Chains A and B, each alone.
Chain A
């Protein structure tokens, strides 16, 4: 048998140096006068002389050591501020010895084990879910690419028969006006107009599928901006004239720029056409293009019915249309603004709209004048748009 005295001495020595339990000797006022190595390691600080409350993370501020020490069999959960910054809970007992109080703190091993296992399992499940997510994302990307290929092929194959229908229905409208009665002539005109809409839709779908497939390269070239602006507006002038809308065009400081002329013409034409379509006869649509050393800035302003605030964020997404109706019932594919956005994105620019319901809308875009920092159309997410 080992004598008690030796056991106590060795036990205390172990508790003082090796054990994971915490041991504090406290004065009546809570001042720490002695602590074992574990307490020093866990708190990571020189705690001798500090008040016991200072090493606790105690939101109640009610640690009454004397009342705790009245019953040394009672355990109190107390959290210690540790060196890692994460508080750690210990189960403390307090014992009055002469004038001092001895505080023992133990970890609940079962609780820790349970937490360790749960964290391990949760981490594994999270990692497995991440793997599944990456796998499904890759599958979706492949399916999306296939869909775009199909869309492009279908649109391409539809172009020719629609073109034929449009041409021949146009001939018939022109050449049978004297022969057909007004009802039948109306049928033909509807067929002809529908063919026009279908052709526009097919062209837009081809653009969208090319953009989505990442085969929408910019053909950057030195461009005379004044000439480009004038050419962009040609079809719009005819459209405005037919509808009785006045175009108020102004351009300032236009010089040379580096951009894809055909695509910027497409954007300007599309935005101005929209403004005309949402204007009533007699209204004025203001179109402005300015340029300085760094940026080309464009806006078109109408005085139509404007766009509801909750619809503004959806405008540049596929097949989104505002709830407001075009003044002459003009039709659209719902892809024009998406295509415009993609073209402006590809020019490293931004496109946005300011609109007040009942007062009208102003569509803006801004692109670098010298074609710098061009990027892929897919690199510019929707939420970066200033809309």
Chain B
């Protein structure tokens, strides 16, 4: 439903910081009843990974990357009325998703939470740069079935490791999954040292995984 031409147009607008043009494209897709999953997979996820790559290879500045992310996050707000009002078949399962401490890129984790909602899970998104003690307290209070940790910048990997270790030591049987652009640079090997921790690379994979669980 999203042609490569439309994707390219959207990506160009995003990189040029043309918020209103991006809004027009997304609103038009929503008006044409595009499935939310397609919008997330084929427009938001794809373009954000591309923006991230361009930044990682010093092709665009941090400012441009942040602007593109902020625009996309604003566009998610256009989707929410539809996403939350859809009559999902509620699975009675809860997931808590958070960014690692010092990780200020939150949109990937938020999109994962939205995909979980779309699949009938009650998905709480805690936000960026979440202090570990807050996260632990929240997990203790809400007793989720699954915890997701998102990491975008590879250099924050040590914060993620710390997060996994603390959660694992406090909640021995709680399943954890991790994901995000950071893992394109490595890091999945170290996950083998922890039980019940899985790397899930894409939105499609997270959907597949929660459907199976």
Contact = CB atoms under 8 A, between A and B. Distances in A.
Q: Do A and B truly interact?
A: yes
Interface of A: 116-117, 120-121, 123-125, 127-128, 130-131, 134-135, 137-139, 141
A138 B84 CA distance: 6
Nearest to B127: A128
23 contacts: A120-B104, A121-B104, A121-B129, A124-B73, A127-B76, A127-B110, A128-B106, A128-B110, A128-B125, A130-B80, A131-B77, A134-B77, A134-B80, A134-B83, A135-B80, A135-B84, A135-B117, A137-B81, A137-B84, A138-B84, A138-B85, A139-B84, A141-B85
Nearest to B73: A127
Nearest to B80: A134
Nearest to A133: B80
B70 interface: yes
B66 interface: yes
A120 B128 CA distance: 10
Given A124-B106, A138-B81, 15 more contacts: A120-B66, A120-B70, A120-B104, A121-B128, A123-B73, A125-B127, A127-B74, A128-B106, A128-B127, A130-B77, A131-B110, A131-B125, A138-B84, A139-B84, A141-B85
B81 A134 contact: yes
Interface of B: 66, 70, 73-74, 76-77, 80-81, 83-85, 104, 106, 110, 117, 125, 127-129
Contacts of B129: 121
Given A124-B73, A125-B127, A131 B104 contact: no
Given A121-B128, A125-B127, A131 B85 contact: no
A139 B104 CA distance: 29
A124 B73 CA distance: 8
A120 B107 CA distance: 12
A116 B62 CA distance: 11
A125 B110 CA distance: 12
A134 B84 contact: yes
Specify which of A121, A128, A135, A141 lies most central, judged by the most chain B CB atoms within 10 Å of its CB: A135
Contacts of B76: 127, 131
Contacts of B128: 121, 124
B85 to A, nearest CB: 5
A299 B113 CA distance: 54
Given A130-B77, A130-B80, A131-B110, A124 B85 contact: no
Contacts of A137: 81, 84
Contacts of B66: 116, 120
Specify which of A123, A130, A138, A141 lies most central, judged by the most chain B CB atoms within 10 Å of its CB: A138
Specify which of A116, A121, A134, A139 lies most central, judged by the most chain B CB atoms within 10 Å of its CB: A134
Nearest to B81: A134
The 4 closest A-B pairs by CB, nearest first: A138-B84, A134-B80, A127-B73, A138-B85
Contacts of B77: 127, 130-131, 134
Contact of A123 (B70, B117, B125): B70
A131 B80 contact: yes
A130 B127 CA distance: 12
B105 to A, nearest CB: 9
Contacts of B85: 138, 141
A373 B74 CA distance: 34
A111 B129 CA distance: 21
Nearest to A117: B104
A141 B85 CA distance: 8
Nearest to A127: B73
Nearest to B88: A138
B82 to A, nearest CB: 9
Contacts of A139: 84
B80 to A, nearest CB: 4
Nearest to B128: A124
A121 B69 CA distance: 12
A227 B178 CA distance: 73
A121 B110 CA distance: 15
Specify which of B84, B125, B128 lies most central, judged by the most chain A CB atoms within 10 Å of its CB: B84
A138 B81 CA distance: 8
B16 to A, nearest CB: 15
Contacts of B104: 117, 120-121, 124
B97 to A, nearest CB: 11
Contacts of B106: 124, 128
Nearest to B70: A123
Contacts of B127: 124-125, 128
A39 B177 CA distance: 50
A137 B84 CA distance: 8
A139 B88 CA distance: 12
